[in-house]
A and B are shown apart, each in its own frame.
Chain A
Amino acid sequence: MKKAIHYINQFFAGIGGEEKADHKPEIREGLVGPAMALNEVLDAQVTHTVICGDNFMGSNTDEAVEMILGFLEDKEFDIFIAGPAFQAGRYGIACGTIAKAVKEKFGVPVLTSMHIENPGVEMFKKDMPIFKGGKSAAKLKDDVKAMADYANKILNGEKTLPAAEEGFYDRGIRAQVWLESGKTGAQRGVEMLIKKLAGEEFISELPIPEKDLVAIAPPIKDLSKSKIALITTGGIVPVANPDRIQSASATRWGRYDISKMDRLKAGEYKTIHAGFDPAAADADPNVVMPVDAMKEYLKEGKIGALHDYFYSTVGTGTTQAEAARMGKEIVVKLKEDNVDAVIMTST
């Protein structure tokens, strides 16, 4: 019989809720919590359950992933299933993070399940089939079954259906299908045109994503009277990274006081961005976040004021949806502080 390993969080393992969210990763032989439901419907034996606290995975991602991959190194398994994570954001991101790492390291198929509003969907749907799950644990059985039905096809070497029919989010992977209806391109085209002309609903076979373009703002009239803020996606933070901004696929941002300094000092600030060689930025953080140059301009009177804080996050691997959310959150703060314009630096 084929073998499977299941990943769940501390809550579903029965260890505890928020107060136990720092629970370190562990692996147990056999079935814990939802693994029992999974084992019942899966054409494979669930041999182990991996458990990790959501906060531990969120705050110590590298350590958590390394530990779990270590647990799995001597195990035999044909498939790795995480969740379902429902609408729980941190749990969803944890499922996506660990499933992606397992797929990359061991090359086995990985699956998870989340509700559409879980931020993990946007972050990881390109990396694995994420099944369209319910909002809460009331849907546990259905969500587990949906994953198992698909997993069984893979385990048994059967043909799988398009994403929409299987019930997972589009991954952006397209393949040829011969229509059972035998309807030709000509028939489909003419039919679509008749519907479109009649104002009826039609389904394009090649949906083109809407571009979310932001209009370019009008120029600043008088720079010498304006308050300027600095923002970067280059990952410049105080060396302790107090806001625990992730090195890739960021969901967090921070703001740091620069009112009392002329420049960012090496050793006090560094980059945590994992997408470029950090040597130059660590040696002089001003090359990414040009506090030094802005302070000079301030002295010269070229700009009216420099905002007391700079804002920072990491751009690499960060989804458009997360970036937009963080941007909107930052804009609120900038408006409160009457910032007139922003200089945004990247890497």
Chain B
Amino acid sequence: MIMIVLKLTKIITITKEIKIERRGHMKLELGKFNVKDVLFGEKTFFKDGVLTINKDEAISFIKEDEHITDVDIVIAKPGENTRIVPVKEAVEPRIRPDGRAVFPGVTGELAMAGEGRVHALKGCSVLGVGMHWGSFGDGLIDMGGEGAKYTLYSQLINICIVADTDEEKERHEQQKKNTAIRMASHKFAEYLGETVKELEPEEIDIYELDPVTKRDEKVDKLPSVVLVMQPQSQMEELGYNDLVYGWDMNKYVPSFMNPNEVLDGALISGSFMPSSSKWSTYDFQNFPTIRELYKEHGKSLNFLGVIMSNLNVSLEQKIRSSIFVAQMAKSLGADGAIVTEEGYGNPDADYILCLAALEDVGVKTVGISNECTGRDGASQPLVTLDVKANALVSTGNVSEIIKLPPADKVIGELESLARDGLSGGWPFDEFLGSSVKEDGSIIMENNGMFCGDMIAGWSTKTMKEF
């Protein structure tokens, strides 16, 4: 009883603070702590760029969720000859000094994200990895060698939660919600964030936008743009899709959001989309296209904000979402829009439809996505095409074949790539054999590289005619 009262008091206090802040504008202070090394030790703390973790305590914390039946924590560093698979989720460790949850509606009570102070351990991520079992949307990361270039996560120190769960119902399903491991990643990221709760950040990045109708004349005169994000929401059954403030995005229509909310934990990744086309929670927290628009804000562009859409399956839902998006962009007075989709295949229909709908209402568009051009590179790149989509950035080809030599160390279970229906792997092929060879070398499609096409905006890849 006392506990509950205390909790309520806390929420009320925070709400008051936020109200004061909200009179002005949305201002997010991202306090950065650069992590140069992560190791195990007696205590869990951060000092001089080194994050030390008491492994036993950390494992006990993760095991507080009774669905986690077995867990180990393994650290993987850039350049190591280490292969990680099946990777289900990546999260940047963070904490909010004022006590609000890092992922409102997921790791704690609902409160508005995107303003106030958040502290982040930069240069590292918490990975949710299956101890044995993989699923359709899971991916692979090589920390070193030629495989490292296929994913951003080879450049980060990865603190891997390698876990097994009691989710028996889906153990042998290709589609898994992976709820226990994914939730453990979010909670553990917050747990590690506690180490810098009271510390003074090395640097603070400020993200602030004045309300749309209350901007300087100078900014108002610049071409105004919105970012239209299409996070993954294709599964009709709840539990697989991306969440916004804890809400399943399949049961959602597009809304206007402040970009700071995206950078500050309002969205978390799901467990469905083939891996190379996915946005992990880490991607949302660091969304490069948002940060790039911020850079140009007040200089060459007036960044109005984010229209958060979704990617549902039926045509009616796709059209409905495109109507919402086009109307909002128009009503906000956007001159331009960047549209980006978390997916390929069926979601291409939403992507192209949305680009065309915006062009139809006079909003000039650019699209950012990958393509699926086939193993020979000769197939139609997107499922639907429209000449109105005349400015597209392409971040990679889902179906390119990748062969990689064996790694010295595997975190997780290598066989999962071939056995468990990962989108980039296969158990048998009459010409190529199994994805996993006896010597530990692999052959796979780019499709299964963890967030490999970096559609969030990291990708230095493009597609060219050969």
Point out the residue from A184, A190, A197 that lies within 8 Å of B459, measured CB to CB. A184
A154-210 interface with B by 8 A CB criterion: 160, 162-164, 170-179, 182-190, 192-194, 196-198, 202, 204-206, 208-210
Could you tell me if B465 and A163 are in contact, using CB atoms closer than 8 angstroms?
yes
Select the stretch in B29-37, B163-171, B290-298, B324-332 that faces chain A: B290-298
From A163, A185, A202, A209, name the one whose CB has the most chain B CB atoms within 10 angstroms: A185
Q: How far is the CA of A176 from the CA of B387 in the complex (A)?
A: 23
A112-153 interface with B by 8 A CB criterion: 126
A176: chain B residues within 8 A (beta carbon) = 396-397, 400, 446, 461-463
A211 CB-CB contact with B under 8 Å: yes
Q: How far is the CA of A209 from the CA of B397 in the complex (A)?
A: 19
What is the minimal beta-carbon distance from B63 to any residue of chain A, in angstroms?
A: 38
Q: How far is the CA of A237 from the CA of B376 in the complex (A)?
A: 38
Could you tell me if B466 and A171 are in contact, using CB atoms closer than 8 angstroms?
yes
If A174-B397, A175-B400 touch, whether A196 touches B463 (CB-CB below 8 Å) is no
A189: chain B residues within 8 A (beta carbon) = 289, 292, 338, 340, 366-368, 393, 457
B288: chain A residues within 8 A (beta carbon) = 184-186
Point out the residue from B336, B337, B390, B455 that lies within 8 Å of A208, measured CB to CB. B390
Chain B, Cβ-Cβ closest to A211: B387
B335-393 interface with A by 8 A CB criterion: 335-338, 340, 364-368, 371, 373, 376-378, 381-382, 385-387, 389-393
Could you tell me if B400 and A177 are in contact, using CB atoms closer than 8 angstroms?
no
What is the minimal beta-carbon distance from A299 to any residue of chain B, in angstroms?
A: 47
A179: chain B residues within 8 A (beta carbon) = 460-462
Could you tell me if A196 and B364 are in contact, using CB atoms closer than 8 angstroms?
yes
A170: chain B residues within 8 A (beta carbon) = 465
What is the minimal beta-carbon distance from B234 to any residue of chain A, in angstroms?
A: 22
Please, how many residues of chain B have a CB less than 8 angstroms from a CB on the other chain?
Answer: 56
What is the minimal beta-carbon distance from A151 to any residue of chain B, in angstroms?
A: 15
B67 CB-CB contact with A under 8 Å: no
B436 CB-CB contact with A under 8 Å: no
A160: chain B residues within 8 A (beta carbon) = 466
Could you tell me if A202 and B387 are in contact, using CB atoms closer than 8 angstroms?
no
B446: chain A residues within 8 A (beta carbon) = 176
B301 CB-CB contact with A under 8 Å: yes
Q: How far is the CA of A347 from the CA of B216 in the complex (A)?
A: 66
Point out the residue from A175, A193, A198, A210 that lies within 8 Å of B464, measured CB to CB. A175
Chain B, Cβ-Cβ closest to A173: B377
Quick one: CB contact mask for B225-251 with A, threshold 8 Å, 1 for yes?
Answer: 100000000000000000000000000
Q: How far is the CA of A183 from the CA of B371 in the complex (A)?
A: 18
Could you tell me if A185 and B464 are in contact, using CB atoms closer than 8 angstroms?
no
B195 CB-CB contact with A under 8 Å: no
Could you tell me if B393 and A175 are in contact, using CB atoms closer than 8 angstroms?
no
B69 CB-CB contact with A under 8 Å: no
B459: chain A residues within 8 A (beta carbon) = 184-185
Could you tell me if B293 and A185 are in contact, using CB atoms closer than 8 angstroms?
no
B260 CB-CB contact with A under 8 Å: no
Q: How far is the CA of A343 from the CA of B301 in the complex (A)?
A: 55
Quick one: CB contact mask for B394-410 with A, threshold 8 Å, 1 for yes?
Answer: 11110010000000000
From A163, A174, A197, A205, name the one whose CB has the most chain B CB atoms within 10 angstroms: A174
A204: chain B residues within 8 A (beta carbon) = 390-392
Could you tell me if B393 and A163 are in contact, using CB atoms closer than 8 angstroms?
no
Point out the residue from B385, B393, B463 that lies within 8 Å of A174, measured CB to CB. B463
B391: chain A residues within 8 A (beta carbon) = 192-193, 196, 202, 204
Quick one: CB contact mask for B26-50 with A, threshold 8 Å, 1 for yes?
Answer: 0000000000000000000000000
Could you tell me if B335 and A197 are in contact, using CB atoms closer than 8 angstroms?
yes
Q: How far is the CA of A183 from the CA of B390 in the complex (A)?
A: 20
B400: chain A residues within 8 A (beta carbon) = 175-176
Could you tell me if A186 and B464 are in contact, using CB atoms closer than 8 angstroms?
no
Point out the residue from B301, B335, B377, B456 that lies within 8 Å of A175, measured CB to CB. B377
B440 CB-CB contact with A under 8 Å: no
B145 CB-CB contact with A under 8 Å: no
Could you tell me if B371 and A206 are in contact, using CB atoms closer than 8 angstroms?
yes
A186: chain B residues within 8 A (beta carbon) = 288-289, 291-292, 368, 456-458
Could you tell me if B382 and A206 are in contact, using CB atoms closer than 8 angstroms?
yes
Chain A, Cβ-Cβ closest to B381: A206
Q: How far is the CA of A309 from the CA of B201 in the complex (A)?
A: 86
If A189-B457, A196-B364, A206-B371 touch, whether A162 touches B393 (CB-CB below 8 Å) is no
B373: chain A residues within 8 A (beta carbon) = 174
A196: chain B residues within 8 A (beta carbon) = 336, 364-366, 391
A205: chain B residues within 8 A (beta carbon) = 392-394, 462-463
Chain A, Cβ-Cβ closest to B446: A176
Chain B, Cβ-Cβ closest to A205: B394
Could you tell me if B336 and A193 are in contact, using CB atoms closer than 8 angstroms?
yes
B223 CB-CB contact with A under 8 Å: yes
Could you tell me if B338 and A190 are in contact, using CB atoms closer than 8 angstroms?
yes
Could you tell me if A206 and B463 are in contact, using CB atoms closer than 8 angstroms?
yes
What is the minimal beta-carbon distance from B378 to any residue of chain A, in angstroms?
A: 5
Q: How far is the CA of A183 from the CA of B391 in the complex (A)?
A: 17
Q: How far is the CA of A171 from the CA of B293 in the complex (A)?
A: 35
From A170, A172, A176, A187, name the one whose CB has the most chain B CB atoms within 10 angstroms: A176
B122 CB-CB contact with A under 8 Å: no
If A174-B373, A189-B338, A189-B368 touch, whether A182 touches B381 (CB-CB below 8 Å) is no
Quick one: CB contact mask for B183-196 with A, threshold 8 Å, 1 for yes?
Answer: 00000000000000
Could you tell me if B377 and A174 are in contact, using CB atoms closer than 8 angstroms?
yes
Q: How far is the CA of A188 from the CA of B446 in the complex (A)?
A: 22
B95: chain A residues within 8 A (beta carbon) = none
Q: How far is the CA of A208 from the CA of B381 in the complex (A)?
A: 9
What is the minimal beta-carbon distance from A209 to any residue of chain B, in angstroms?
A: 8
Other than the known A185-B289, A189-B457, A205-B394, what 4 A-B pairs have Cβ atoms closer than 8 Å?
A173-B377, A174-B466, A175-B464, A186-B457
4 nearest A-B residue pairs (beta carbon): A186-B457, A162-B464, A186-B288, A186-B292
19 intermolecular pairs with C-beta atoms under 8 Å apart: A160-B466, A170-B465, A171-B466, A172-B378, A173-B376, A174-B381, A175-B463, A178-B460, A182-B460, A184-B458, A186-B292, A188-B462, A189-B292, A193-B365, A194-B301, A197-B336, A208-B385, A208-B389, A208-B390
